[in-house]
Structure 1
Amino acid sequence: MHRIIALAGVLIAFFACSKERKEKEVSHQEMGAHGMSSDWKFTLPKGDPAEGRKIFVEVECYKCHEVKGEKFPAVAEGEKGVGPELSQMAGMHPREFFAESIINPNAVIDADAKKLGYVGEDGKSKMPDYNSVLTVKQVADLASYIASLKGLKPNEHTGH
């Protein structure tokens, strides 16, 4: 129940903080029976990828997620590879997908995730949720950083 309340709070904060969202006046009839416009779309506030990279380091995402081409503190061998490599995430998913994965890693679990070791025996992601750890701005920044990762060009050194 606390997760639902916290997630609702995050969603409300996303709407309140969004500068990209255009205000639109709609009639009660247009809103439908449940008070939602038919063209409603969730919009994540614009994030800062540079700040997101700092958060990636602060909350130690690099311990589980490699980012080829990025240099992070050394990681013990047993902690590496618990999550997917992230260097080519740009273009694969919108920022909202990454934000949801950060606050609720069990929302979407890839069919191959268990085989790859990203899922525990209970069928849930090994990634902790950061719902009560990060602010809305931090989630937006971190999602923007991940969405900015374009991968390496051929023969580019990884720095590892």
Structure 2
Amino acid sequence: MMWKFSLPVIFLAAVVCACKHADDPAKSSHEAAHVHGTPKDWKFTLPAGNVAAGRKLFIEAECHKCHEIAGEKFPDIAREKGDVGPELAQMAGLHPAEYLAESIINPNAVIDHDAKEKGYLGDDGHSKMPSYNDTLTITQLADLTAYLTSLKNRDGHKQ
């Protein structure tokens, strides 16, 4: 008679334990991360871009309105007071591609200590450069970054 009552109790306990383990997302995601963890020393690498397409996009997006590039000639464009950004050939030699890409899609990610004095910040303390996070595709970002990183190989602007 005791087996009659013990068997359903054991079955119910097993079901509850199984459900509890399956419903614990923290535990299962932690276990998945352990099994499929991020490789040691992993970092994001931007896909290779097309330099010529990046230069074309630099012009189409009117980046040259605020940024000069030593040795480059761009179409004339009416500059407004306060249109300013760093000269980019020198920047290419100072930073990796991923840093330049982040500066394009999130210009407030890193603000230099002298940005205010150089006129790069608005009255609100944020970069005057607009974010291109919602307007560029990954391919466009890779192309634009490829163009910018290609500038570091120019005389006088090597790393």
State TM-score, norm by structure 2: 0.70
Matches within 5 A, 1:33-44: 35-44=37-46
**CA, structure 1 residues 130+30, in 2 after alignment: closer, same or farther (shift >3 Å)?**
same
Matches within 5 A, 1:46-85: 46-78=48-80, 81-85=83-87
Identical aligned residues as a percent: 61
CA contact (8 A) 1:90 1:149 kept: yes
The separation in 2 between residues aligned to 1:32 and 1:115, in whole angstroms, is: 47
Q: Structure 1: 5+ residue runs without aligned partners?
A: 1-27, 155-160
- Which structure has the larger Rg? 2
Identify the structure with the greater helix proportion.
2
Provide the residue aligned with 1:119 in structure 2: 121
Matches within 5 A, 1:124-139: 124-139=126-141
**CA, structure 1 residues 76+97, in 2 after alignment: closer, same or farther (shift >3 Å)?**
same
**CA, structure 1 residues 79+98, in 2 after alignment: closer, same or farther (shift >3 Å)?**
farther
The separation in 2 between residues aligned to 1:69 and 1:40, in whole angstroms, is: 36
State TM-score, norm by structure 1: 0.70
SS across alignment from 2:148: helix
Give the CA deviation at 1:62.
Answer: 0.2
The separation in 2 between residues aligned to 1:91 and 1:152, in whole angstroms, is: 9
How many residues align? The count is 127
